[in-house]
Structure 1
Amino acid sequence: MIEALFLLFGLFIMFFGTLGLLRFPDVYTRLHATAKCDTGGAISILTALAIASDFPLVVKLKFFVIALTIAMINPMVSHAIARAAYKSGIKPKATVDMYAWDNP
């Protein structure tokens, strides 16, 4: 039962990451949506697989090692992609000025 919840949660997160990829206007916002959702969704799905499988404990630990590796590497890869996009001259289309309301 708990593995079904982890699996549905992971699929839910992955769905919204895909929706963000399709709806957001530029590479930076798309990258933000996919990186966050890919990390959380993959970890949830791997946790569900580790709980639900009838494999030995060593194999289940491998699922958790893979999840930990994804949690560490995915933010670094996303940062490298965003930095490469910035250095190649891609300008962000969406800008948010959170201090704009201070100046009338």
Structure 2
Amino acid sequence: MTVLAVAGNVLAVMGTALIAIAAVGLIRLPDAYNRANATAKAAATGVVCVLLGALALMPEPATAWFLLLGVVLQLLTTPFGAYTVGHAAYRSGSPLDASTHRDDLRESLRERGEA
């Protein structure tokens, strides 16, 4: 096995583990906001690791362009999607967990006259 093959396999396994951790977080975390946050971060980094692992396993110029485009799009769109899911959950009245001590969005909406 070459160094690139080992690196590609390690990245793919690490990415798969991060995606599995995101799935566990989706089941175990207490409210929609924590779930959206954990899923977005772990799944985004997991997908990026898998794509980079595929790039290490298939280091060809055409493959590199497509996989790097996938990495860039993943890193650009995931934070916006997670923000939108969290904001929609808040606007629909999804309750905060009791361990949450601050509600900055409520204050912001009050100042704008939307709450």
TM-score, reference length from structure 1: 0.85
2:81 counterpart letter in structure 1: V
- Counterpart selection for 2:88 from 84, 96, 100: 84
- In structure 2, what is the equivalent of residue 102 of structure 1? none
Aligned residues: CA RMSD? 1.6
Please, which runs of 5 or more residues in structure 1 have no aligned partner? Answer: 99-104
- In structure 1, what is the equivalent of residue 16 of structure 2? 11
TM-score, reference length from structure 2: 0.77
CA displacement at 1:32 relative to structure 2 = 1.1
User: Where do residues 10-49 of structure 1 align in structure 2 (5 Å cutoff)?
Assistant: 10-49=15-54
Please, which runs of 5 or more residues in structure 2 have no aligned partner? Answer: 1-5, 103-115
CA displacement at 1:90 relative to structure 2 = 1.1
- Counterpart selection for 2:61 from 57, 65, 76: 57
Percent of pairs with identical residues: 22
Q: 1:58 to 1:94 in 2, by over 3 A?
A: farther
Count of matched residue positions in the alignment of Structure 1 and Structure 2: 97
1:8 counterpart letter in structure 2: V
